Structure 1
């Protein structure tokens, strides 16, 4: 087997979604994922998992759209011939331009022989194509952004990044308010009673949310880590470096 692919640990539905997004990435338009149910394997796709169109242009400049019927097969072993018969039937009935099988690994040799025989004996009005593991690997070359966006499950989703940024913001904010409490205790009278009361109420909310024991005081090293993490997450979310406003 070739090197690991990003979809190896996906289930059938996730692999279909991967195929859908990959086709969009390489230039297909008007995509329709025909899953139709919440089941892992959908009985409602009518012999094709995806219907998509590929923009084409002839030498004279005429532009048109090719209609592709796509059947996605997430198999550990070779795809057998009987598993693609539905795709060919529907491509014939609905006059597709191309019938495409996307296999997470390979078509079996009997399946390839069946396709050759089908084309010779039936002369279908559509072209038959199949993408196997090496074809998909070539399509993914140079598409690191796509892989990061859709396939690398170890990557943090944006909601997790935002949640972590909020917690670090709260920790920085709370620590600065503890410094302000020290100033008040030393006699600083530059803040109104209303401002002090609002600040203390917000601090109590932070303590209830995170636990007072988890909000410092910090050593110089710990404070540097908290500040650095906040700056890094804000940069990931689109802010400038070193923004530690709270």
Structure 2
């Protein structure tokens, strides 16, 4: 998911939750040996940590103090005096004041006056700057601020697939297509959703005899976002797997042509091809991976080619085709013999149909 500063709403958090957020932010920023001093007796700092400074001649561990102020209004100087006094006694390398709102003018002027007297640095991170730091780490927003039920459903679905290989249901895909904001989706989110649909396309078609609610246009709300994020050139990441992947299973026009024999009549009506691949199968087992290849055409005559690697991020690359014809067959990144490509050009209707058919 993609987030901006408006998604960080500090008012949703309690003071303790704000401190926890700051602690997790500092961890992601690279501070070590973090100690969160919870409770009222914080001895002048909420969080203490180590930042290592390396030079060509030395490595020095510097102690940093962090004070977290969860305020909706301005923070006055009297809320900072005890923290400064403790820093004077302990002499850290730096005292950082993390504020959900802003300093009052009096507090700002007071800090400007005393900075020059201190041997340690005093940094103030106010609300807008703190938000800019937080949105560098989408997981923090998902953990602390995600309030949209359907965003949570997508995040949970991705996590459950990554941990337990639980597939998306059609009903969930339908709900997500109706309620998610496409502009917040990353290319990896889109890859997960489109593979979730086309990887089970045959199953969804078969279940239609009972449920009667399946329609491939369920993903239409996401076409514009995919068009925006996809490239118009070949999927470069696939090159490293050429000659080193094995077909596991799939469905679509490619599979239809695999079963074609001379003398057969009929053409493939499928407007897509999905293939699950065993990547790096010639190498040691430690390098093996599962890949997903997808090509599909939409009613406008445009098409998309997607390649995903089943890692923790569901790493996805995509290509956009403004139009499709038989020459498109030669541009597909998945490998085939000249004879097989000739079959696709002749019998796979997806490359020959005019738009809106």
Give, in whole Å, the separation in 2 of the partners of 1:32 and 1:84: 20
Contact kept, 8 Å, 1:51 with 1:70, in 2: the verdict is: yes
1:193-212 correspondence runs (5 A): none
Give 1:158 shift.
10
> Which among 142, 146, 149 is matched to residue 139 of structure 2?
146
Contact kept, 8 Å, 1:47 with 1:90, in 2: the verdict is: yes
Residue 31 of structure 1 aligns with which residue? 34
SS of aligned partner of 2:98: strand
Answering whether residue 85 of structure 2 is matched by residue 113 of structure 1, we say no
Distance 1:69 1:157, change over 3 A: farther
SS of aligned partner of 1:129: strand
Give 1:148 shift.
4.4
Residue 185 of structure 2 aligns with which residue? none
Distance 1:5 1:50, change over 3 A: farther
Give 1:128 shift.
0.8
Give, in whole Å, the separation in 1 of the partners of 2:35 and 2:109: 29
Give 1:146 shift.
3.3
Give 1:95 shift.
1.9
Contact kept, 8 Å, 2:96 with 2:124, in 1: the verdict is: yes
Residue 72 of structure 1 aligns with which residue? 68
Residue 213 of structure 2 aligns with which residue? 221
Q: TM-score, normalised by structure 1?
A: 0.58
Number of equivalent positions: 173
Give, in whole Å, the separation in 2 of the partners of 1:158 and 1:20: 26
SS of aligned partner of 1:125: coil
Contact kept, 8 Å, 1:102 with 1:131, in 2: the verdict is: yes
Distance 1:67 1:3, change over 3 A: same
Structure number with the higher helix fraction is 1
> Structure 1 unaligned runs (5+)?
36-41, 169-216, 225-238, 242-246
Give 1:145 shift.
3.2
Structure number with the higher strand fraction is 2
Residue 236 of structure 1 aligns with which residue? none
> Structure 2 unaligned runs (5+)?
161-165, 170-208, 217-289, 293-357
Task: Name the Cα RMSD after superposition.
Answer: 3.5
Contact kept, 8 Å, 1:70 with 1:87, in 2: the verdict is: no
